[in-house]
Each structure stands twice: as structure tokens, then as C-alpha cells.
Structure 1
Amino acid sequence: MKVALSVAGSDSGAGAGIQADLKTFSALGVYGCTAITAITAQNTKKVAEILAIAPEMVKAQIASVMADSPPDAVKVGMVYSNDIIDAVAGSLRGRMPVVLDPILVAGTGAKLLRDDALERFISRLMPRCSLLTPNRMEAEKLSGVRIKGEAGAIEAAERLRSLGAKNVIVKGGHFGKATVTDFLLDGKGRLTKIANPRIDIEESHGSGCNFSSAATAYLARGIPLEEACRMANEYVHVAIKNAVRVGKGLPVTNPLSSIYRDAMRYGTITELQQALDRLATIKDFYRLIPETQTNLVYALPDAESYKDVAGVRGRIVRAGEAAVPVSRAEFGASRHMASAILAYKSARPAYRSVINIRLDPQVLEICRSLFQVSSYDRSKEPMGIKEKEGSTIAWGTKSALARKPEADVIYHQGDVSKEPMITLFGKSPGDVLDRVEKILKRS
């Protein structure tokens, strides 16, 4: 397994520093080691206290790691003082990549590098680094270049390279534009722009640490510099998008969100596929399939759009006396049933699955005897809803729940060229199929 070493400060709020680096290393499949340079008492609102670690102890931590688990890449973050800078610079021996994140000021405003240490930072650490990762303000402070736009960012990067940094990426999060563009100037003077849409969020805590540690992890895995920066950019974009509020101050970037999401997507698809296998064995289910066919869908716990809802591509069809999925289960396969579960889930978050079945008077009466039932009238659908493709089912589901919030069965009698339908909701696909079997036992 590849090893990455983080030389940085400790954040008691765990949003940045050593704690953020370890989360990122773990999320990207790299074993993380640490050398702590300072202990901070901080939270999402402020840095209350800073205790610098003795330089000899900083050197001892690095030496201990180097002797036993030589890192494949090193990330250097908060170094705070001249003595610590000398300790770190003197300890970084070898040919492994070194990513230097110039931690000058915390997002909450506290100084994390002493004023008298800036010159030593530039002269001793920048020539040792493989990649320097400043934001706009850090690039201005280190280079002395006033950055107003793209030309300023490039000029600053060139200046930082002349001061010893082999490669420089000036991050674009503080440029105030709708598109966030990072400017990577490599060792051969080639400029690469890496852009993403701006996320509608205020300043977040930890994004800089997450980026630099992600770049370190990718470099440790042997990924070329430009690609490592692109992948780190995308990784942090997702982490910022899924930022969480754990305190009263800044939102904290979420470096583990991609792991949780991938795990949830795998679990959701697996559980849905198991339910589809079970559905194929349910006797007489084919009789419940409407003319427009059936779909069984399952939403992620935090689903926001149809792309977060898994279903059967092409639906479930009747083949003789059997029900057969015509394709595999995948996310984004059913916009109609996805809109139903998304609308339902907004009122009852624990419910993540739904199936549509044929509306038959007998089946409807059985549903009324077994479940809580509500309905909506498609003929009363507002014109603005009718004109918006795919919005009818969401409108109808919410309307039915407004009348009967506990309803787990919702139906409509159809409209011009629209088949009457029953939608049956459950907390999981297995829960939905349990209800289907109860209906069939009564019919």
C-alpha cells in the first residue's frame, strides 16, 4: 500500500489540518502517517489557541516515519515558525514528491504562519517542493504580485516558480467568478487550466487541506502531476458540494462524502437487484402490470434528482405469465417513478422505494383494506404543471399526501391518454414487495 506523510498542524475541530489530511488519504486508498507541527484549539468559528511543537519533536516524528514507512509522497501544511520550518526542511530528504500548502491564515482569520517566518518559508521550503498549492491571497503574499484576474494568476505562478517551486497551481476559489478555474504552471512552463462550476456556498473550512492532501495521495500512487491535480480538483469539488454544518461557523468540506456515496450507490443497486430477482418469482404478479408496464425504483438516502434513483432501464414487462425486467437496474433509468419517490420522500424521508401497478377496482379495495390510501385528480392539475414535462406525478404525489400524510398507497383515475395507476410506496424494495404479496394473497 502506498504511504503519504502529512506534516501539518492539528485542528481540534477536525475540519482541516492533520485530521482532514488523514480523512483524504484514507478516502483515496493511501496509508496516512503524520508529523504534527502545532496543536490548535479551534472550531468552525475561530482559532482560540496555538501551541507550537518543539522543533526537535517535529524532526523526530518525521525521522520515525521515514525510517520505518518511507512515504511515497509528503504534504507540508502549517509550519508556523522559523524553527519548525528549519526542522521540516532539514528532514525532507529523498526523491519523493513534496506538496507544499502555504497555510498562512485560517479561513476564520487567525494567522497560522508567523510574520517573521514568511521569508524562511519562501527560501527553505519552496525550493524543496514539487507542487505549491496557494489560493489567490496566498499567491499574492508569497509572490508580491497583485492578482486581479487570469493574467495576474499566471504572473504570480511564474514568480513563485522563479523562487524555487518546481510546479505551481494557483487555486481559483477566491476569484469571485461563476466558474472556478485553477491555473497549473508546470516545471516546463506549460499552463493548464482546470475549471469547475462554482458551488453556491460561502467560504468552507478545510478545502485547501483537502486539495493538497488529495494531490499528495494521487502523486503517492504514481499518477502524473497534471492528472493528479485534475483528480484532486474534482475530488475537492465533490467534498465542497457535500460540505456539512457541524458547528455555528463555517461549513466543513466533507472529504469522505465520495466514499459514503459510492457505498450507498452499490448497496442501493444490489438491494434493488435482489428485489427484482424476487419479483420474478412472485406468483401472479404479471396480473398487476399495467399497459404502460411497471417499474420498481429505489432512491439513495440523500437523493435529489432522478439520477439518484435506481430503476429498470426499459421497465418490467409481462411475458406470458411472468414479469421480466427488460434490462439491468441502473441509476437514472426511470424519470416517472423517480419523480414519485422524490416527491414522497420529501414528506416521508424514510421511504425510498415505489412500484406502479394496474388500477383495478378489486385491487384498489384490497389496498384500502390493507394500507393507508390517498389519491389525486389529474384533471385538476394546474396548467403550469401540465406544461412542464415530468412534473405531474410529483405534483399528484404531494397533493395526495397533503390530504392524507400517512398514505402509503396513492392512485389516480387517469386522464386523456393517461392510464389510471396505483403507486405503492415502501421503505425499501423488499418492503414494497411484501405489500405486493399481501395484495396478491387477497385477490
Structure 2
Amino acid sequence: MAIPRILVIAGSDSGGGAGIQADIKTVTMLGGHAMTAITAITAQNTLGVTAVEALSPEMVVAQVDACVSDIGVDAVKIGMLGSAAIAEAVADRLTDIGVPVVFDPVMVSTSGSALADGATVAAFERLMALATLTTPNLPELAALGGLDAVRPKCANLLVKGGHADGDEIADVLHTPCGNRTFRSPRIDTVHTHGTGCTLASAIATGLGEGLPVDLAVEQGIAFVQQAIAHAPKIGRGNGPLGHAMGRVPFYDTLAALDADGRCAADFAAKWSA
């Protein structure tokens, strides 16, 4: 199969831990080609968000059109939208797009900064209706009206349990065929910035590869667990995940080439120094 083409519609995190930056790393590490339609620019680090500036809805849609018209798309991930007007424009553009859509209804960053106002949250209903999967955490689910209000609006709903207490995290997938609970051990760390973005993009990549929803979710959760376990522990607050799992893929390639005698001796010596 050709490389899955994943279009991410989300905001930029200048600190590199969440948003578009986390999305690109996730899609790349899972074997996809990441394309982006940036909705907003944030001044952000591990301590919080200090400024947000949304792009125009027209510019967001122009980015989507540029990617779809040339490269094509196998799945879409939607994250931070920046304004109600952008949310409505994205919903208009993605109606009948014909590929899986994962909607992560981002409202608050890991550090606690608000990333969506009331009007934007109200516009989420159209996106939930068109999405293949919606992935709220527990506070987001509550802000959207609770499980009974949200479930009928979604084709599939993944309720992320990371905000609940306990040594185990239970993520519950609600589908027309029934529910499935994914349980994973809680890793005791503050370095979880970008987990929601990472999970949604990982799931979108799986769907773009042709996986069914439950297997895409299972793969996404496993990826997030490993990325948290390999967090580089940088920054003074909620640090980013270790999307590369502590590896340097280029070095792995060089090592393989060197083992086959195909790595130039002078470059191999510099690399191994």
C-alpha cells in the first residue's frame, strides 16, 4: 500500500510539544505523510500558552484545498480550531470528503490554558456529526454536555480516561456495535504535553492505512504509552512526549548501511565519533 496521506487541521505549538508539531512527529513515526492546515499560531511552552492568533477561515480552507487537490488525502485529523468561524468553514469543506476524520475537540491545553471559546465549542456539533471518531477527554466530554448528550451525535466516540484517578487509565470506545475498554498502566510523570494530539493523529494514521476503528485506537494508545515512557523530560512544566522512542532513525539507517559495507568510511567515522 502507498504511504498514508494524513491531513492535520490544527494549531501550532511553538514549544513543539503539542498541536501541529506533535501531529507531524506522530504521523511520521507511524509511517504516514503528514500535511497541515494550520488554524492558529500559539506562543506556548511547557508552562502554558501566552498568546494565540487565529488565521482567517479562508486561509485555513486554502491550505486544505492545496493539499487535497494535489497530494490527496487518506484520513483527516482535526485539533485546535481557533475560532467558531474556522470550525464552521472546516465543517463545510470536509462534508462528504469521503475519508475517515478524527476530531479531537481541543478546549484546554495540558497546562490549563483555554484554547476554545464558547462559540467555538458550540460549532463543534457539526464536526462531531461528520467525524468517523471523536476523542474527548473527561473535562471536554463534560463541557460538551456529557456522554448522553454527545454519544448520539457521533458515529464513534472515544472517551479518554487520563483525567480520572487511579493507577490505571481506562479509555472507552463507543461504537454502534458496542463498547470496548482499553486499559493501560498510568505512568507517573508530568511530561504528558500533547498526549491528546498525539493519540488522535496516531488513530488517524491507522485509519488512513485501512485499519478498522478499534484496531486504530488500540495502536494509537500503544504509541502514546511508549511516547510517554520515552519523554525527554525537557522544560520546567508539562514536558513533551518522546515520539521517536529515544531513537535517532537516521543513525539506525547509517548503522544498517555500515553493517552492509555501504556507508562511506569517512562519514561512518564522523558519525560514530
TM-score by length of structure 1 reads 0.55
- Report what 2:167 is aligned to: 178
Q: CA RMSD in A?
A: 2.3
Q: Which has the higher contact order (CA 8 A, sep 6+)?
A: 2
User: What is the SS of the residue equivalent to 2:42?
Assistant: strand
Give the Cα separation in 1 of the matches to 2:31 and 2:157.
Answer: 25
Give the Cα separation in 1 of the matches to 2:243 and 2:63.
Answer: 25
What is the CA-CA distance between 1:22 and the residue it aligns to? 0.4
What is the CA-CA distance between 1:237 and the residue it aligns to? 0.4
| Conserved? CA contact 2:138–2:159, under 8 Å | yes
User: What is the SS of the residue equivalent to 1:23?
Assistant: helix
What is the CA-CA distance between 1:159 and the residue it aligns to? 3.4
Give the number of the structure whose alpha-carbon radius of gyration is greater: 1
Of 106, 111, 132, which aligns to 1:108?
A: 111
| Conserved? CA contact 1:40–1:47, under 8 Å | yes
Give the Cα separation in 2 of the matches to 1:249 and 1:97.
Answer: 34
Is residue 159 from structure 1 mapped to residue 149 from structure 2 by the alignment? Answer: yes
Of 93, 98, 103, which aligns to 1:95?
A: 98
| Conserved? CA contact 1:126–1:132, under 8 Å | yes
- Report what 1:3 is aligned to: 5
Q: How does 1:355-366 map to 2 (within 5 A)?
A: none
**Shift in alpha-carbon separation, 1:203–1:242, aligned structure 2, 3 A:** closer
- Report what 1:339 is aligned to: none
**Shift in alpha-carbon separation, 1:258–1:248, aligned structure 2, 3 A:** closer
- Report what 1:212 is aligned to: 200
Give the Cα separation in 2 of the matches to 1:105 and 1:30.
Answer: 27
- Report what 2:239 is aligned to: 251
- Report what 2:81 is aligned to: 79
Give the Cα separation in 2 of the matches to 1:259 and 1:185.
Answer: 35
Give the Cα separation in 1 of the matches to 2:168 and 2:248.
Answer: 27
| Conserved? CA contact 2:13–2:20, under 8 Å | yes
Of 157, 165, 176, which aligns to 1:168?
A: 157
- Report what 2:37 is aligned to: 35
- Report what 1:50 is aligned to: 52
User: What is the SS of the residue equivalent to 1:19?
Assistant: helix
| Conserved? CA contact 1:37–1:78, under 8 Å | yes
**Shift in alpha-carbon separation, 1:260–1:171, aligned structure 2, 3 A:** farther
- Report what 1:191 is aligned to: 179
Matched residue type, 1:172: G
Percent identity over the alignment is: 39
| Conserved? CA contact 1:205–1:251, under 8 Å | yes
Q: How does 1:218-297 map to 2 (within 5 A)?
A: 218-257=206-245, 260=248
What is the CA-CA distance between 1:258 and the residue it aligns to? 6.6
| Conserved? CA contact 1:7–1:36, under 8 Å | yes
**Shift in alpha-carbon separation, 1:102–1:258, aligned structure 2, 3 A:** farther
What is the CA-CA distance between 1:18 and the residue it aligns to? 0.5
Of 124, 130, 136, which aligns to 1:121?
A: 124
Give the Cα separation in 1 of the matches to 2:210 and 2:248.
Answer: 25
TM-score by length of structure 2 reads 0.88
Of 23, 26, 33, which aligns to 1:24?
A: 26
What is the CA-CA distance between 1:161 and the residue it aligns to? 2.3
Q: Deviations over 1:355-408 (max 9, x none)?
A: xxxxxxxxxxxxxxxxxxxxxxxxxxxxxxxxxxxxxxxxxxxxxxxxxxxxxx
Q: Which runs of 5+ in 1 are unaligned?
A: 146-155, 272-427, 429-443
Give the Cα separation in 1 of the matches to 2:225 and 2:249.
Answer: 14
User: What is the SS of the residue equivalent to 1:32?
Assistant: strand
**Shift in alpha-carbon separation, 1:263–1:234, aligned structure 2, 3 A:** farther
